[in-house]
Amino acid sequence: MLHSIMNFISLWALPLILLLILTMGLVKKVPLYEVFTDGAKEGFSVSINIIPYLVAIIVAISMLRASGIIEMAGEFLAPVLAHFNTPADVIPIMLVRSLSGSAALGIFSDIAHNLGPDNYATTLAAVMVGSSETTFYVLAVYFGAVGISKLRYALIVGLIADLVGIILAITVCNFMFA
Amino acid sequence: MNYIFYLLIVVSIIAGAINGKLNDVVNAILSGAELSVKVAFSLIGIMAFWLGMMKIAEKCGLIAIIAKIIKPITKFLFNEIPEDSPAIGDIAMSFSANAFGLTNAATPIGIKAMEELQRQNVDKSSASNAMCVFLAMNTAGFQLIPATVIAVLIGVGYKNPTAIIAPTLLVTSVTFVFAILLAKLFQRFWVPQNRKEAE
């Protein structure tokens, strides 16, 4: 039941938004085609403008991931987190999810395939990945698009929130699934 | 950001040297640079599409209607932004797109919101309070249904994949509210932006 509602929402959300925008535009006599192409023109410049910011962040993060420090931090954290019933397999996800969304999803897929659906690590990893957003990427893209280089407290807020999210995910999963 | 950029690279080089992975670190520069351009280029088309659609939504008054509906909340969150600014409607649209997991739409719409916020910004090189709140909303990653994760779970034969929706939603909602409150708290005592231009 829930599953079919879910599928329905994810299938129809986008088409419905498009129908709403276009129908309302037509009713209000907005010249749809002209206005659309006029707005779309900016797509190119915005995408190109974010390249320097993306290069800075993505290169730095690629270097960090290649350096092996995430594995080092994982080994350091494993005994601590074992006290909180947190399997070592999930630690790389915690460390990587603010840096790279595709990497976090990749690690989660590995866990799910290797440890199987009945393992607690799979569930915890699912909740952790499902509740996360790639903080560094979001900041680089959004601030890059408008040319802002002084982020003030935006990154700190994002990272503290990520940490709180991890702690919550561990707590909630321990309570519900362990 | 200066220190973070410096720190990320210096730590990578030192850790790479310790782990004997210096070669990988150097190769990561090339692959990272390539990836950045790939990401930016892959955005062009979808960015153009949604910026076009959003322009229609703005012209026909849809954005203004959405902004009106959520006014009680945005008045508190973005008190520095005029109520009739298109930024409010854009933020609402971007939030909804994120909530429904429409990442492809959420990014362009979010960027449009940032452009509107930038118009109100006194120091164009520094993040405004409103931007920090908006980014806090985004980095918390609020999403009603984690569709990609569920797809992976279904793929490995997880018994009841939808069982993770409730805990995920709980975690992400609390984080979302927490991040916003934290941003609002920080703006009180963080070094304020240069206000000279505003006066």
Residue type, position A171, single letter = T
State the smallest CA–CA distance between residue B147 and chain A in angstroms: 8
**Chain A nearest-CA residue for B148:** A130
Q: Are residues A71 and A1 in the same domain?
A: no
Cβ atoms of residues A126 and A172 within 8 Å? no
Residues of chain B with C-beta less than 8 angstroms from the C-beta of A72? 15, 18-19
Cβ atoms of residues A152 and B127 within 8 Å? yes
Number of domains chain A contains: 2
Percent of residues, chain A, with pLDDT higher than 90:
74
Mean pLDDT for chain A?
91
B33: burial class by Cβ within 10 Å (0-12, 13-18, 19+)? Answer: middle
pLDDT at A3 over 90: no
CA-atom Rg of chain B in angstroms: 20
pLDDT band, residue B199 (cuts 50/70/90): very low
Q: How far apart are CA B83 and CA B19, in angstroms?
A: 54
pLDDT at A8 over 80: no
Mean pLDDT for chain B?
88
Instruction: Encode pLDDT of A78-126 as tens digits.
Output: 999 998 989 999 999 999 999 988 889 999 999 999 999 989 999 999 9
DSSP string, B21-83: -HHHHHHHHHHHHHHHHHHHHHHHHHHHHHHHHHHHHHHTTHHHHHHHHTHHHHHHHTTTS-T
The confidence score (pLDDT) of residue B56 equals 94
Q: Are residues A57 and A1 in the same domain?
A: no
Q: Does B190 touch chain A (CB under 8 A)?
A: yes
Q: Are residues A36 and A46 in the same domain?
A: no
Percent of residues, chain B, with pLDDT higher than 90:
49
Q: How far apart are CA B46 and CA B104, in angstroms?
A: 7
Q: Are residues A27 and A71 in the same domain?
A: no
Instruction: Encode pLDDT of B42-96 as tens digits.
Output: 889 988 999 999 999 989 999 888 888 888 888 888 988 888 788 998 999 899 8
pLDDT at B103 over 90: no
Window 58-77 of A, Cβ < 8 Å to B: 58-69, 71-72
Which DSSP state fits B198? G
The confidence score (pLDDT) of residue B147 equals 82
Q: Are residues A68 and A24 in the same domain?
A: no
Write out the residue range of the structural domain in which residue A74 sits: 42-176
Window 145-184 of B, Cβ < 8 Å to A: 145-150, 152-153, 155-159, 161-162, 164-165, 167-168, 170-172, 174-175, 178-179, 182-183
Mapping DSSP to helix (H, G, I), strand (E, B) and coil, where does residue B185 land?
helix
Q: Are residues A32 and A97 in the same domain?
A: no
The mean pLDDT value for A4-31 works out to 86
Inter-chain residue contact B51 with A138, CB threshold 8 Å = no
Q: Where are the domains of chain B?
A: 1-52, 61-198
Q: Are residues A2 and A27 in the same domain?
A: yes
Q: A–B: how many Cβ contacts below 8 A?
A: 345
The confidence score (pLDDT) of residue B35 equals 92
pLDDT band, residue B163 (cuts 50/70/90): confident
pLDDT at B130 over 70: yes
DSSP string, B94-127: HHHHHHTT-HHHHHHHHHHHHHHHHHH-SSTTB-
pLDDT band, residue B141 (cuts 50/70/90): confident
State the smallest CA–CA distance between residue A135 and chain B in angstroms: 5
| Cα A20 to the center of its chain, rounded Å | 28
Cβ atoms < 10 Å from Cβ of B157: 11
For residue A30 the two structure tokens come to: 């907005």
Inter-chain residue contact B1 with A37, CB threshold 8 Å = no
Residues of chain B with C-beta less than 8 angstroms from the C-beta of A156? 186
The mean pLDDT value for A13-17 works out to 84
Q: How far apart are CA B146 and CA B164, in angstroms?
A: 9
**Chain B nearest-CA residue for A128:** B168
- List the one residue out of A122, A121, A129, A115 whose CA is nearest residue A166: A129
Q: Are residues A129 and A52 in the same domain?
A: yes
For residue B14 the two structure tokens come to: 């030192």
Inter-chain residue contact A126 with B51, CB threshold 8 Å = no
DSSP string, A74-141: HHHHHHHHHTTT--GGGHHHHHHTTT-HHHHHHHHHHHHHHH-TTSHHHHHHHHHHHT---HHHHHHH
Q: Are residues A153 and A66 in the same domain?
A: yes
Q: How far apart are CA B20 and CA B17, in angstroms?
A: 5
Window 43-102 of B, Cβ < 8 Å to A: 43-49, 51-57, 59-62, 97, 100-102
Q: Are residues A18 and A47 in the same domain?
A: no
User: Between A122, A146, A172, which is nearest B170 by CB?
Assistant: A172
Inter-chain residue contact A130 with B5, CB threshold 8 Å = no
Q: Does A24 touch chain B (CB under 8 A)?
A: yes
Q: Are residues A56 and A34 in the same domain?
A: no
**Chain A nearest-CA residue for B115:** A146
Mapping DSSP to helix (H, G, I), strand (E, B) and coil, where does residue B80 land?
coil
State the smallest CA–CA distance between residue B42 and chain A in angstroms: 9
